[in-house]
């Protein structure tokens, strides 16, 4: 099958790949761009383990074609840590014991990052509602909610 050239920005850096039109973004990220933070949990858009941030929106990368991403500005969990240190959400997931097996964690944190951009001080109900596209089998969500709340406080104080 013929390949197409696609270029976009990934975690602040310009990247270019040559892919078949049918290739899904999650496979391009994981297998061509060594970005294995986003995971595959269902391939049907239900679990959210593959969540990445594209042009200011949370997107499940298992249901986006790479060729749709020309010129996109993309962020994955790998792009959250800055030279100044971990993102407040990464720190909070650790301090609030919001992860166990860790498989959902990159998607959860990436989703929470966008949630807090859109709603900087969400209620618990809002957190639960806006995080419902990301499934976790280990934590029961209680500590994930606490982590998001804790990150909100830290970010407000910063």
Partner 1 sequence: MGNSAETLEREAKLQGIGTSRLRKEDARFIRGQATYVDDIKLPGMLVGAIVRSPYAHANIKSINKAKALAVPGVVAVLVADDLKPVNLAWMPTVGGDVQAVLADKKVCFQMQEVAMVIATDRYAAADGVAAVEVEYEELPAIVDPHKSMAPDAPIIRPDIADKTEVGHGPRTHPNHIFTWEAGDKAATDAVFASAAVTVREEILNPRVHPCPLETCGCVASFNKASGELTVHLTTQIPHLVRTVLAMLSGIAESKIRVIGGDVGGGFGNKVPIYPGYVVAVVASIVTGVPIKWIESRIENISTTGFARDYHGIGELAATKDGRITGLRFSALADHGAFNSHISATKLPAGLFSICTGSYDIPNAYCRVDAVYTNKAPGGVAYRCSLRVTEAVYLIERMIDILAQKLGIDKAEIRRRNFVKKEQFPYTTAFGWTLDSGNYHPALEQALKAVDYEGLRREQAEKRAKGELMGIGICTFTEIVGAGPTKVCDILGIGLFDSCEIRVHPTGSVMARLGTMSTGQGHATTYAQIIATELGLPSEDIQIEEGDTDKAPYGAGTWGSRSTPVSGAATARCARKIMDKARKIAAHLLEVGEGDLEWEVDRFKVKGNPSQVKTMKEVCLASHTSNIPPGMEQGLNAVDYYDPPNLTFPFGTYVCVVDIDRYTGEVKVRRFYALDDCGTRINPMIIEGQIHGGLTEAFAVAMGQQIPFDESGNHLGNSLMDYFLPTAVETPKWETDFTVTPSPHHPLGAKGVAESPHVGGIPCFSNAVVDAFAHLGVTHMDMPYNSFRVWQQCKALGISTR
φ, ψ (nearest 5 deg) of residue 31: -100, -20
Piece of 53-61, 115-123, 132-140, 149-157 that binds partner 1 (CB under 8 A) = 132-140
What is each CA distance from 36 to 32, 50, 156, in whole angstroms? 10, 10, 30
Q: Which is nearer to partner 1, 71 or 88 (CB)?
A: 88
Distance separating alpha carbons of residues 50 and 108, to the nearest angstrom: 9
**Strand 3-10 relative to strand 73-75: parallel, antiparallel, unpaired?**
parallel
Could you tell me if 48 and 104 are in contact, meaning their C-beta atoms sit under 8 angstroms apart? yes
**Is 38 near partner 1 (CB under 8 A)?**
yes
93 belongs to the binding site for partner 1 (CB under 8 A): yes
Would you say 71 and 8 are in contact if contact means Cβ atoms under 8 Å apart? yes
The helix/strand/coil state of 13 is strand
- Binding test (CB under 8 A) with partner 1, winner from 17, 25, 49, 54: 49
Binding status of residue 100 toward partner 1 by CB under 8 A: yes
Only segment of 2-10, 64-72, 100-108, 149-157 that touches partner 1 (CB under 8 A): 100-108
For the chain, counts of helices (H) and of strands (E): 5, 5
Residue closer to partner 1, measured from CB, 135 or 155: 135
**Nearer Cβ to partner 1 (58/139):** 139
Give the Å distances, CA to CA, from 40 to 87, 90, 98, 146: 23, 20, 20, 25
Q: What's the min distance (Å) between Cβ of 59 and partner 1? A: 16
By CB under 8 A, residue 143 contacts partner 1: yes
Using the rule CB under 8 A, is 102 a contact of partner 1? yes
Residues at the contact surface with partner 1, assessed by CB under 8 A? 20, 22-23, 27, 30-31, 35-44, 46-47, 49, 76-78, 81, 86, 90-91, 93-95, 97, 99-106, 109, 127-129, 131-145
């Amino acid at each position: 099958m013929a390949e197409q050239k696609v270029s976009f920005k990934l975690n602040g850096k310009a990247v270019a790949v040559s892919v078949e039109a049918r290739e899904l973004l999650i496979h391009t990220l994981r297998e061509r761009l060594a970005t294995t933070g986003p995971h595959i949990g269902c391939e049907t858009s239900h679990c959210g383990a593959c969540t990445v941030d594209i042009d200011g929106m949370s997107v499940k990368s298992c249901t986006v074609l790479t060729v749709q991403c020309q010129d996109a500005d993309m962020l994955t969990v790998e792009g959250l840590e800055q030279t100044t240190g971990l993102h407040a959400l990464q720190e909070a997931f650790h301090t609030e014991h919001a992860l166990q097996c860790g498989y959902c964690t990159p998607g959860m944190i990436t989703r929470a990052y966008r949630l807090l951009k859109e709603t900087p001080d969400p209620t618990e109900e809002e957190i639960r509602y806006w995080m419902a596209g990301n499934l976790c089998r280990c934590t029961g969500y209680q500590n994930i909610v606490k982590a998001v709340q804790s990150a909100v406080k830290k970010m407000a104080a910063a």
